[in-house]
Amino acid sequence: MRARIAVLAGDGIGPEVTEEGVRCLTAVATLFQHELELCPLAFGGAAIDSEGEPLPATTLQGVRSADAVLLGAIGGPQWSGSDARLRPEAGLLRLRRELGTFANLRPVRVHPQLLDASTLKAEVISGVDLVFVRELTGGIYFGEKHRDSASARDECSYSAAEIERIVRVAGQLARSRRRRLASIDKSNVLETSRLWREVTQRVMEREFAEVRLEHLLVDAAAMHLIRRPRDFDVLVTENMFGDILTDEASMLAGSLGLLPSASLGEGRRGIYEPIHGSAPDIAGRGIANPYGSILSAALLMRHSLGLEAEAAVLEQAVADALTAGARTADLVRPGEPACSTREAGQAVLSRLRPPE
């Protein structure tokens, strides 16, 4: 098959980890005799510096004509001052809105060889395999905003239709897995959460009666993610809660650098990126963890290109590299040498094998 992939490397460690994601994506395409056109485009803080805005018109045109988007990371202190007129994050929010990618999937699996990488006890995290479904284009991040010297306001709003469509994504995913769905809200305080719980209950009863539904307040969910993470299968929640909880959940796997994500809409085109930030403090040092970017490339093949076997081959190569001990600095045991970003990518490449 032929496909066009927009590559938005972004800022900080974004270019470093994206380079390894691209190398692995290209290698798998070659292995399976696919033809990929890779189109690098300016985005984030780098685009502010070079073109005066975080999402230039040429970049938006490029992603709209692509089959999928592979994204690195954006942001940095030079663009984050309280008086900053342009912020990289504004470009990311607009990109999601323009492409209609309302559903963010964030899988969290604990690799058996990395049980010691987490700060939690091995018996608590062993066997964890869950997926967050985060609503991505609504809520407080997209509401009306105001700030002056005396006060500030961020509006949070959700419509029933926005809730219904994200719950359907989560319900369909839960149906294909262990048929358990946890819906997370703050319905004891927030009106948006009361609507969220009401709509979720209605959709699940009518359309996914075979899936066991559990409602959790966000503070309780944060506690139970640490206390009983194996009990979770699919979790669905609104934008801000999902942003926070998925960073917490990354610690189950051992590092923020391990986790990929897929942002999907009604069609097949999606945005694929590791969930970590731009980490400007380690940018350019060649020590960033590329596994989240590489696994995001696997999600890209699965969800946007329909290449399930290819995605599975890449995911297995990552698992094999970790089993062999290819750990970056964020995963390494005290006193042991760490792989560089490039070496970790190479460890995956050397373990790519066609399916038997």
What are 144-170's pLDDT values in tens digits?
A: 999 999 999 999 999 999 999 999 999
Q: Could you list the active site residues?
A: 141, 186, 219, 243, 247
**Residue 264 φ then ψ, to 5°:** -120, 155
Helices (H), the chain: 14-31, 45-51, 57-64, 88-99, 122-125, 160-176, 191-207, 218-227, 239-253, 291-303, 308-323, 341-349
CA torsion sign, 264 to 265 to 267 to 271? Answer: negative
| Confidence check: pLDDT of 128 > 90 | yes
Q: Which residue, 355, 310, 321, 322, is CA-closest to 27?
A: 310
Q: CA 291, CA 229: separation in Å to the nearest integer?
A: 22
Q: CA 144, CA 293: separation in Å to the nearest integer?
A: 32
Question: Taking the model in full, what pTM does it have?
Answer: 0.93
Only one residue has tokens 């239709």, namely 161
Q: Which residue, 248, 100, 159, 98, is CA-closest to 167?
A: 159
Task: Identify the band that residue 140 occupies on the pLDDT scale cut at 50, 70 and 90.
Answer: very high
| Confidence check: pLDDT of 83 > 80 | no
Three-class SS state of 81 = coil
Structure confidence by residue, pLDDT tens digits, 99-118 = 999 999 999 999 999 999 99
Q: Which residue, 39, 63, 43, 60, is CA-closest to 51?
A: 43
CA dihedral 325→331→337→342, nearest 10 degrees, is 80
Q: Both tokens of residue 118?
A: 């987490």
Average pLDDT estimate for 314-329? 96
- Mind listing the domains of the chain with CATH numbers? 1-77+87-107+255-356 (3.40.718.10), 119-253 (3.40.718.10)
CA dihedral 46→48→50→51, nearest 10 degrees, is 140
Task: Identify the band that residue 81 occupies on the pLDDT scale cut at 50, 70 and 90.
Answer: confident
Helix axes 14-31, 291-303, angle to 10 degrees: 50
Task: Identify the band that residue 80 occupies on the pLDDT scale cut at 50, 70 and 90.
Answer: confident
